Amino acid sequence: MDTEDTEETEETEETEETQETEEFLLPRSRTANERLHAMIPGGAHTYAKGDDQYPENLAPVISHGRGAHVWDIDGNRYIEYGSGLRSVSLGHAHPRVIEAVRRELDRGGNFVRPSIVEVEAAERFLATVPTAEMVKFAKNGSDVTTAAVRLARAVTGRPRVALCADHPFFSVDDWFIGTTPMSAGIPETTNELTLTFPYGDLAATEELLTRYQDEVACLILEPATHTGPPAGYLEGLRELADRHGCVLIFDEMITGFRWSEAGAQGLYGVVPDLSTFGKALGNGFAVSALAGRRELMERGGLRHSDDRVFLLSTTHGAETHSLAAAMAVQTTYVEEGVTAQLHTLGDRLAAGVRDAAAAMGVGDHLVVRGRSSNLVFATLDENRQPSQQYRTLFLRRLLAGGVLAPSFVVSSALDDADIDRTVDVVAQACAVYRKALDAADPAPWLGGRPVKPVFRRLA
CB of 428 within 8 A of CB of 3? yes
Q: Helix or strand or coil: residue 162?
A: strand
As beta bridge partners, residue 249 has 220, 274
Sheet with 62-66: list strands edge to edge: 62-66, 69-72, 77-80, 403-404
* Positive/negative CA dihedral, 155, 159, 164, 168: positive
Q: Helix or strand or coil: residue 40?
A: coil
407 CB-side CA count, 13 A: 20
pLDDT at 5: 37
Alpha helices in 313-366 (DSSP H): 320-336, 338-359
Pairing of strands 69-72, 77-80: antiparallel
CB of 89 within 8 A of CB of 280? yes
267 CB-side CA count, 13 A: 18
Using alpha carbons, select from 193, 203, 127, 130 the residue that is nearest to residue 160.
193
Contacts of 374 (CB under 8 A, 6+ apart): 86, 226, 254, 255, 258, 346, 409
Contacts of 180 (CB under 8 A, 6+ apart): 455
Contacts of 244 (CB under 8 A, 6+ apart): 209, 210, 213, 216
CA distance 425 to 411: 19
CA distance 210 to 221: 19
Q: How far is CA 300 from CA 155, 290, 291, in A?
A: 10, 11, 12
Using alpha carbons, select from 333, 318, 329 the residue that is nearest to residue 94.
329
CA distance 292 to 272: 7
pLDDT at 22: 52
Run of H or E residues at 399: helix 388-400
pTM of the model: 0.93
Along the 459 residues of the chain, how does pLDDT read in single tens digits? 333 333 333 444 444 454 455 567 899 999 999 999 999 999 999 999 999 999 999 999 999 999 999 999 999 999 999 999 999 999 999 999 999 999 999 999 999 999 999 999 999 999 999 999 999 999 999 999 999 999 999 999 999 999 999 999 999 999 999 999 999 999 999 999 999 999 999 999 999 999 999 999 999 999 998 888 999 999 999 999 999 999 999 999 999 999 999 999 999 999 999 999 999 999 999 999 999 999 999 999 999 999 999 999 999 999 999 999 999 999 999 999 999 999 999 999 999 999 999 999 999 999 999 999 999 999 999 999 999 999 999 999 999 999 999 999 999 999 999 999 999 999 999 999 999 999 999 999 999 999 999 989 888
pLDDT at 6: 34
pLDDT at 11: 45
